[in-house]
Structure 1
Amino acid sequence: MRILILSHRVPFPQNGGYAIVVANTIKGLVNSGHTVSLIALNAKRHNYESHLPDDDLMGKITYWAHDIDTTVTVLDVAVNLFKKTSFNVDRFYDKEFEQLLANDLQAHQYDVIQLEGLFVSMYVDTVRKYSKAKLVYRAHNIENQIWWRLSLQKVDPFKKSYLRMHGRRIKNYEQQQLNLVDAISVFTPQDKATLLEYGIKVPIDILPIGLRLEKYMPDQSLTEFPSLFFLGSLDWLPNREGMEWFLDTFINDITTGDLPVKLYVAGNDIPDRFDDYEALGKVFIQGEVDDALEFVNSKSIMIVPLVSGGGMRVKIIEGMAMQKCIISTSLGAEGIHFTNGHDIIIANNREEFYTAMQKCIRDEHYCMELGRNARRLTEKEHDINVVTQNQVKFFEECCSR
């Protein structure tokens, strides 16, 4: 098949969940013998030219990106209060990109065009106008749920109302746009159930996150035990609010209390205020790391304190592939076929997190057994070769309708 992947960000380097999923999808499809093109929006802060795909992928795909400024000013936010749409979606519209996309669609015939998330769905009309390809939407998240769940964490009535307003606007937009495509893929049964509740009429299939498992080779001899760690982009609100809750809740237990362990926080775009959490010899705010898998391998206990968001968390799947002991909220582990206490430990409040951390810190054998079980689960359900086979079958069914 001739497949176009339309993305709202350049998926290179693979330094975040979205980039990992999109890049692995492309590699899986190319390795399966399909012709793949990638067209991406590129926020100007990302120098994608210095982070081209690894291996020889560049010679196997057609690829171009268009710079776009997605910065939102205070004035933009104020003006948006009087509109019916959300600035979070509107900022990804670019007239010049729309014309370039139209030119590409007229020059090339595709069998399937996959929209990677809501922020490129505003180009559906352009795709329909200039292409006869089947249009597939992949829901990386149910976007409005992020805003709604964030609102539940707010006490300030203005902030709560503001977040709910954007949640309603994005929900209306999702319901409208998703019924315009030919098929939808989601990562979790929960997301499929939600879209069905929204009245989405097009076929929906569940395709889990796939990893190239040969890249994930843990070396226990290089792992510090005990140690806690978090890895994720803190420009994503659910990650930031989850870590703020965790740090505010457990900073004293880690620095002066009954948790004899070091905590490492790494990821992209960590706000400066997180530096205030640093504690000499106890809490390390490291920012972006050069090699994410090397960082994960060097630590033993992964924490995922998500209280908002949706979809399947790529970093958890990566942690499982690296045989990490993982403590996560139910929301963080959503969609993963885990057994609590066997593959992952579920903790949804202070008491449960504290108990789980104490047990893991004191019992290295238990942590290692949990990690081995987690790896076996990824081999069974998250091998990119298996996921790609199912994705191709999904595309073929879509084309046959």
Structure 2
Amino acid sequence: MSKPSLLYLCHRIPFPPNKGDKIRSFNILQQLAKHYEVHLGCFIDDPYDQQYVEQLNTWCKSVFALPVNKYWSTLKSSIALLTGNALSIPYYHRSAMQLWVDHSCAQFNITKALIFSSTMAQYVIDKEQLHTVVDFVDVDSDKWRQYAQEANPVKKWVYQREWRTLQQFENTVANKVVHSLFVSPQEAELFRQQLQPATRDKIGHLLNGVDTEYFDPANPDIEPINESIDVAFTGAMDYWANVDAAIWFVKSVWPIVRQRYPQATFFIVGGNPSTSIQALHGKNGITVTGRVKDVRPYVLQAKINVAPLQIARGIQNKVLEAMALAKPVIATSMAIEGIDAQNEHISIFDDATNFADSVCAYIEKRQDAPMSRAWIIENLQWHETLNELPVLLNH
């Protein structure tokens, strides 16, 4: 018996699962493929990912992966300043994508759609025949509110405008679709607060998970690296919040650590490091790796993994993965939001001195965190966190 067709739209190609949003969108794709013939439309904003398009056929009936240029997209988004819309909407708008969506819905008689990221909802928001579920993941508009708090006057105006206009678009989407999903109960509740009471019942959440076989400290596929790592921070290093976190750690925490341990090493691990991150390489025991084939050896060999985010929404996969690898984590309260695990190897500090004291304690005495891994196995495996998705797509 053939599976029903489903439209799946993502703002970024969901493979390989090597950064936060792609980890979630890929695992959702795997879940969808068990129940539907998936027709995937997505953008490729990193030329490196072009090589993986064909592999998506493993899970998809058809794939439309449209390359986009970040600089052109940014310029294109300025159109919104004339229309009153959020800058994010024209940033992700392409006529070719709309044509593909329209053609696919007609050709394959598609009646169900899952939209990953609110900005992709613009392609289906007026298609009343679709039973549409949107995975907002995070409350994106609130990120812009946070950015505005730290910005110079010009950026502050732009970010505040984006906060207000994107929030209006998010509300419109939530009013029109069947279900709106978020990555944690906290994100869902934050979003409910900006909605009219009649829409709030349509808001839910699906937690992130971890591939506990892949992120297993005993996995024989993890190849050791010849590096001495005291502290590691992982993530896409062209993402503003990660860049900001690394800079804060280097400026506020790392000097305290190096004063006590002059030979201490800090590895910043992740692709496409910004200019400000690249400038840190080779100074004060800091190594900037750039893109790596496998992040697991760096997480495993570090004495401590840190998540010093000053701006964040949702659940941080970097924290979950370190926990699954039974590694201790020191995080800010922003980075740990939505993760309810508590044990002696999950430390939460927003003050730089306390953060540094905790880092030094793990440099002095290496310790593993088996309770963290046990908690992940019990609470956050993908096959369990996403098991409600087919239900939502049918009701």
Q: TM-score, normalised by structure 2?
A: 0.88
Q: Are 2:178 and 1:182 equivalent residues in the alignment?
A: yes
2:132 to 127, 131, 135: 135
Query: CA, structure 1 residues 95+21, in 2 after alignment: closer, same or farther (shift >3 Å)?
Result: same
Q: Which residue of 1 aligns with 2:35?
A: 34
**CA displacement at 1:7 relative to structure 2:** 0.7
CA gap of 1:225–1:361, structure 2 versus 1, over 3 A, is farther
Mapped pair 1:360 → 2:370? no
CA distance in 1, matches of 2:37, 2:243: 34
Contact 1:146 / 1:238 at 8 angstroms: preserved in 2? no
Give, as a single letter, the amino acid of the residue that structure 2 aligns with 1:194: L
Counterpart secondary structure, 1:229: strand
- The answer to whether residue 215 in structure 2 is matched with residue 213 in structure 1 is no
Letter in 1 for 2:144: W
Number of the residue aligned with 1:166: 162
Counterpart among 148, 151, 156 of residue 148 in structure 2? 151
Alpha-carbon separation, structure 2, partners of 1:327 and 1:53:
38
Cα distance in 2 for residues equivalent to 1:259 and 1:180? 57
Give the Cα–Cα distance (whole angstroms) in 2 for the partners of residues 138 and 384 of structure 1: 15
1:198, CA displacement in angstroms?
0.9
Change (3 A) 1:172 1:61: same
Change (3 A) 1:333 1:108: same
Give the CA deviation at 1:66: 2.4
Aligned pairs (5 A) from 1:1-400:
2=4, 3-30=6-33, 33-43=34-44, 45-52=46-53, 58-64=57-63, 65-72=65-72, 80-110=80-110, 112-125=112-125, 128=127, 132-154=129-151, 156-199=152-195, 201=199, 202-219=201-218, 222=224, 227-258=230-261, 260-279=263-282, 282-339=285-342, 341-342=343-344, 344-364=346-366, 367-368=367-368, 371-396=369-394, 398=395
* Greater relative contact order (CA < 8 Å, ≥ 6 in sequence): 1
Unaligned runs of 5+ in 1: none
TM-score by length of 1: 0.87
State how far apart, in whole Å, the 1-side matches of 2:155 and 2:165 are.
16
- Cα deviation for residue 228 of structure 1 reads 0.5
* Distance in 2 (alpha carbons) for counterparts of 1:24 and 1:73: 27
Q: Distance in 1 between matches of 2:277 and 2:59?
A: 41
Q: AA paired with 1:214?
A: E
What root-mean-square deviation, in Å, do the aligned CA atoms of Structure 1 and Structure 2 show? 2.6
Cα distance, 1:235 vs. partner? 2.0
Of 95-104 and 62-71, more deviation after overlay is shown by: 62-71
Alpha-carbon distance in structure 1 between the residues aligned to 2:123 and 2:250: 40
Rounded to whole Å, the distance in 2 between the matches of 1:391 and 1:76 is 34
The answer as to whether partners of 1:303 and 1:327 remain within 8 angstroms in 2 is: yes
Change (3 A) 1:36 1:21: farther
Indicate if the aligned counterparts of 1:228 and 1:300 stay in contact, CA closer than 8 A. yes
How far, CA to CA, are the matches of 1:372 and 1:121 in structure 2?
A: 41
CA distance in 2, matches of 1:97, 1:77: 16
Tell whether the 8 Å contact from 2:12 to 2:45 is kept in structure 1 after alignment.
no
Amino acid paired to 2:130 = A
Q: Is the 8 A contact 2:81 2:87 kept in 1?
A: no
Residue 71 and residue 195 in structure 1: after superposition, are their counterparts in 2 closer, same or farther (change >3 A)? same
After alignment, is 45-54 or 165-174 more displaced? 45-54
Residue segments in structure 2 that go unaligned for 5+ positions in a row: none
For 2:159 and 2:146, the matched residues in 1 are separated by: 9
SS in 2 for 1:389: coil
Q: Is the 8 A contact 2:243 2:277 kept in 1?
A: no
SS of residue paired to 1:377: helix
* SS of equivalent residue, structure 1 residue 163: helix
Deviations 1:133-192 (A, max 9, x none): 3100112211111111122223x3333333222211211221122211100121111111
- Name the amino acid aligned to 1:98: Q
Q: Pick closer, same or farther for the CA change 1:63–1:71 going to 2, 3 Å.
A: farther
